[in-house]
Amino acid sequence: MPVVMLNHWGANLDNFDPPIVTGLAPDRPVYAMNYRGIGASGGEPPLTVAAMAADMVAAIRALGLEQVDLIGFSLGGFVAQQILLDAPDLVRRAILAGTGPAGGVGIGKVGSVSWPLILKGLLTFRDPKTYLFFTASRQSHSAAKAFLNRLKMRKADRDKTVGLSAFARQLKAIEAWGRQAPQPLETIRRPVLVANGDHDIMVPTENSRELARRISNADLVLYPDAGHGGIFQYHEAFLEKVRAFLAA
């Protein structure tokens, strides 16, 4: 079964964690997707999650794929939920990581939480994901360094950098998702794996518990001493969990 991967705010193709992609690839096709207007993808980034989901559904069908497994991280998890609701027959199984439901707690405040930490990254000459995706513990900081080094593994044909305009448009879509009325997640009948760190400050971990509670056929895994990027801090355990989930 093909796997389609949907990534986070401001992410291009080089922001997919290489060991997760390559770890899934030996026995299935893996499609890492850019949203419209992101990286080398043409057009203008949509201002709503629903429009991003419509784009992804169209892209999946254009590839000739009749059914796929979805892995959505953060913003990608919003998009994956919308696809589950809009085109349920297109999805066999879904992994929702570091994400939350429409109208979820704190999602509308992603910008106000993120900008100070983005500035901190600039002032300390560190990638802001160090502070946004990981906790302040020594173990988590070490995992952050390893993750950021992995993102540099691919040297040739790297994707186009995401510009500030695209970054801002995606943030508007995220904040709109945070203000949106709750969706009928109880109507989702596909098996879903919900994953996060237990100290997510971007999309508060409470949202992962809420997803697992409201989606009837959902399992939940929370990684200890981990933030928004818990699946990257525990990438080996996450990959093992995902492979078993997709093989079931």
Separation in Å, CA 187 to CA 78, 172, 190: 16, 27, 9
**pLDDT band for position 248 (50/70/90)?**
confident
Whole-model pTM?
A: 0.96
pLDDT band at residue 61 using 50, 70 and 90 as cut-offs = very high
Distant-in-sequence, close-in-space partners of 100: CB < 8 Å, separation ≥ 6:
77, 78, 107, 203, 204, 207, 208, 210, 211
**pLDDT-based confidence at 176, cuts 50/70/90?**
very high
| Structural domains in the chain, sorted by start | 3-247 (3.40.50.1820)
**CB count in 10 Å sphere of residue 114:** 20
At residue 111 the predicted structure's pLDDT band, cuts being 50, 70 and 90, is confident
* Token pair recorded at residue 104: 């979820």
Q: What is the pLDDT of residues 64-106, one digit of tens each?
A: 999 999 999 999 999 999 999 999 999 999 999 999 999 999 9
69 DSSP β-pair partners: 3
Lowest-confidence segment of 16-20, 32-36, 121-125, 214-218 by average pLDDT: 121-125
Question: 72: closest CA among 159, 190, 168?
Answer: 190
* Residue corresponding to tokens 């513990």: 137
